[in-house]
Structure formats: C-alpha cells, structure tokens
Structure 1
C-alpha cells in the first residue's frame, strides 16, 4: 500500500542525495569536467559491485567490510528490508522441514525454514545478503544521512580553502 511506497521512496531519495553528494565531491576535486567524467566509472563500478545484490556479502566475506562504506549497499538494504519483511510470513516463503524443531541461528521456527528472513539477515548462508541489523529499519537511513553530511562538509571545507574570500 501507500506505506510501503513511502518507505521505498524514502530509501531511494536518501540514496540519491548521497549519490549527488559524491558527484559534487568529484566535481569539486577535479579541475576540469573531462577529468570528472573520466572518474565517474571509477566511482560507479564499486557501487554496483559492492552494493550487495550482485555480490552478496556472504559470497566473498573479505569484501564485506568494504561494503559498509558503499552508499549503494545501504540504499539496497533500506529498500529490501521492508519488502522481505512483508513476505516473511507468506506460506510461499516458508519451507516445511518435516520436524517441529526450532533453531534461531538457522532461521528455522517450528519446523519451517524462514526463507525471506534468512536471505535478508544470514551472515553464514552462502548467497545471503548479510543485513544482520535488519530489525533496526532506521539504520540504513541514518548511515546514508551521515555519509551525505560528511561528504557535504568535506566539500564545504575544500571550497572554502580554494576560494578564500
């Protein structure tokens, strides 16, 4: 409904603001627009690769620490958490294991494997996204806001040093 739309919209806006901030930083640091355009792919490719969808954190654990500084990863987390949590109790996403056992670390509750939650939160299942802080839905927004503020303050400092008026 409208609530889900607004949550997704907020995630996209927060990610876009952070991306624009990084673009402004590139423009501020470079002397010419040609140099800034040449650096654009160098700035974008890590966003795509380390964003979390193409290369999940559990696939190459050595990259997971680097993923925390990539804004695309936080934008992806902010967008996907509400979606996965909305379908977490859907019977299509619950796999019956034929037992009544429960194991919270394995995402098994009353003999059902919680597929949506496991894909979202597991840091041990290969191919899972590793968003272990998924229950704190505000965290990706806070991280994106902090990244934007840090980058914008850095831009202000650079511009102030460049143009001493």
Structure 2
C-alpha cells in the first residue's frame, strides 16, 4: 500500500479492489486483528530478519522490488493522528540526509483501504544494508480511527515506469478489515 497511492491515483479509474471476503488475516504479528492481506500474483514472501523493523515483506523474485509492511494497532490513550509522526519518523530514518516528498492521500483512494487518513512519502535512499542497497522508496502510511496504522514501504532501484507497474500489481494487497 505504500504502494499504493501513486499507482492508485494513476490507475484508479480502471482497477477494482478486492472485496473484503477475499482478504485473509494479515500473515504475521499483531496486525492480523486490524488488516486483511492478499498476496499479489507474481510476489513471494521475504524471510524476515531479526531487526524487527517490519512485520512482513514481499518481493518480485525476478526483479529488484520489495514491499515491507509494519502494522501498529491502536492503543488506548493514543491519538488517531499519531500516523503523521510515525510516517515522518520512518521517512527520516529511511532517507537519512536526503530530502523526501510528502503528499496527502485523497479520500477517494483512502476508501479502497478502509482508511480514514493517510500520507505518502517518496525519497532517494542512502546506500545501506538495511534497505538491501535499494535506491528509492515510496512509503505509504494509512490510518483507521481507533484501529491503527498500516505502513508499507516499496523499495526499488528503478523510479521509472517499472516501479509504478510493480506498485500497481500490489496496490490492493492490504487493507483495514471491515467494521464488524
């Protein structure tokens, strides 16, 4: 879903998102209570490292494109606007000394993910083993009132059309579960 915003804006009129019935529980960690997940065609699960920086990751086996997910369930006493600070913190951590660009996600796109608010960040990455030496990142941060935060980081070496094709392939793989 970092995903998801740029691909969503570009191709929103032609794509349908999956119905809630097609999503299964998020595969790892505490996010299973708030997020549904559907592994996109052509992606495979990435083995998690011990650094605990993300809950789950997927990648395109033949390409240099990876998506890392972090789910933060809402805790009592925290503001729903915490997603803004969490997004900025992760963007600064990823970008290092590099600048990053921030954009609000429009309500029409938020509804595809059952989200109430969200931001997207685009940045160049410093050369680092933490990001497997990828060059670019697109971070999407989604927030659902009283549910939590979904963060998805798309990392790649290509910021051209292939990056956006890959984002489009995965754009509907995760969303907040429907209210029950």
Higher helix share: 1
Please state which band the TM-score falls in when normalised by the shorter chain. under 0.3
Higher strand share: 2
* TM-score of the aligned structures, taking structure 2 as reference length: 0.24
Larger RCO (CA within 8 A; separation ≥ 6): 2
